[in-house]
Structure 1
Amino acid sequence: MEADFVILSLTPILIGCFAAMACALPGNFLMLRRQAMLGDAISHVVLPGIVVAFLFTGSASTWAMMLGAGAAAMVSVLLIEGIRRLAGVEPGAAMGVTFTTMFALGVLLLEGSGAGAVHLDVEHALYGNLESLIWLDATGWESLVDPVALAGLPPELGRMAAVFALIAIAGFIFWRPLELATFDEGFARALGLPVQAISLGLVAAAAMACVAAFTAVGSILTIAMLICPPAAARLLTDRLPLQVALSLGLALLSAVGGYVLAGYGPMWFGLPNSLSAAGMIATLSGLCLALAAAFGPHRRAA
């Protein structure tokens, strides 16, 4: 039983946890800036980047797709900021214009370039392939100290851990400027802080988290983790450091609890098939938000 857990469940749970926390960290500040739907925009704009990456490299490898998706995400970030500042429209409208235009461009490129070999599986784009990221080389807990077995870990685990660590370190280093620019942009500008660069860095961090998580957990979980844990934490406290800590805890709770419920919940009710792990994790995070909205001490102020 323990060996089965290590082989089949340990790495998907860890990848889900790192993805959830990597998205929740920038999600706190995006929510406070009323840019929480940026993740939805990014999940749409990766399509043209994937197609262009295939046309340049002739390969559908993971790293080629990741680089293309990342480049498209950065272009979308620049477009959103440019439209918002130059045209004076509110952030939601800028995001809507950008992600619909980029997604349409991706469809046109896919149809007009003969790049049909780039197979975009709708199910994996929505739900990811979390359940398939198993550790076949493991034999049990002793594999955690076995270099041969560790070499067979799914590459998504290292990638998501590295992205989470990078975002966490950057957030710690730039905490004070980011906090000032988020709550009082005018005061931050008066202090000489590079407000535009801070905003661009924040959305770049969100884009990096979304792109890294997209292939593993899909767009549904990515969007849910950007929004639900930070929003639920905001309803529980009005102190930013505690809010960030609570959002990470709720992200972990949703990732672990959602995966367990998706895999074992149907058996508890006598159902034959398991459920989508990403879908259940997103559902549990939404339930946490609903409970915080109903019973949180700051629900009226928020």
Structure 2
Amino acid sequence: MQKIDLSKIDTEQRNTNSMELDQVDTMGILTIINNEDAKIAAAVQAQLPTITKVIDLIFTRFNQGGRLIYMGAGTSGRLGILDASEMLPTYGLKSDQIIGIIAGGDDAIRTPAEGAEDDRQLGVTDLKALNLQPLDTVVGIGASGRTPYVLAGLEYAKTIGALAVGLCMTKNSEMLAVADEVIAIETGAEVVTGSTRMKAGTATKLVCNMISTTLMVKWGKVYQNLMVDLIATNEKLRVRTARIVKAVTNASDDDVAKALTAANYACKNAIIMILKNVSYAESETLLAEYDNLVTKVINDK
């Protein structure tokens, strides 16, 4: 694998649009940052065909019981953990179905462990600790595309038959030599040179949002644009759940409340119970019959 010269990586270059960052007032600083941030959505858009291919590959494995594992160091690792941690409350996913790991372990979420990113063996050890399987997908995240911890993890994933996906912010990276697929978002030079928590971090968050959200939509966790598998663990989410059921069924508040109580606040089941006039047990049978997709159950005549 050819080593990339760090000084030549796109994300390490100086941004000509922010050379006078320390000479302008607050509004001037914000304008420079905002102008650069505005370029990120277009940079992600340019990679939609690759992102589409990657998601379809992940979904095939995910649908057979495989897991999605984000791994990264520093900001990259934290963003993967952030995305993974939202899956349980938003979509009712088990905590071991989409996972985020960071170089240096959980302590590194809050306290930087900068040296951990250079530990290749740690990348392998962390994946072995998860008992990585061939149906799993590893998305290795690193703005530079050359983080040793991530590269070693991708190499290991590939050797056991898992899907190895690289997510980086530079076109020509070392990930190309070790991953099955590489999503390369060309975010360019940062406002503050090398501060990849900025534009690169924003792009990473956008792509992770796309990956996990699209997987959940395809897996039947969304009806129309409503999260029908959310876990109502607090008052805000219980109110949201009732609002979702009412929006889909047009039932009265009393009928919504009765259905949710009978379904133990399982949104998807309550919807089916009302629209199909069935019991909770019958709603479970219908969901199993129709691949857990509310749309299919509702449209069945």
Bigger proportion of residues as strand:
2
TM class by shorter chain equals under 0.3
- Normalised by the size of structure 2, how large is the TM-score? 0.26
- Normalised by the size of structure 1, how large is the TM-score? 0.26
Query: Which one has the largest radius of gyration?
Result: 2
Higher relative contact order (CA 8 A, sep 6+): 1
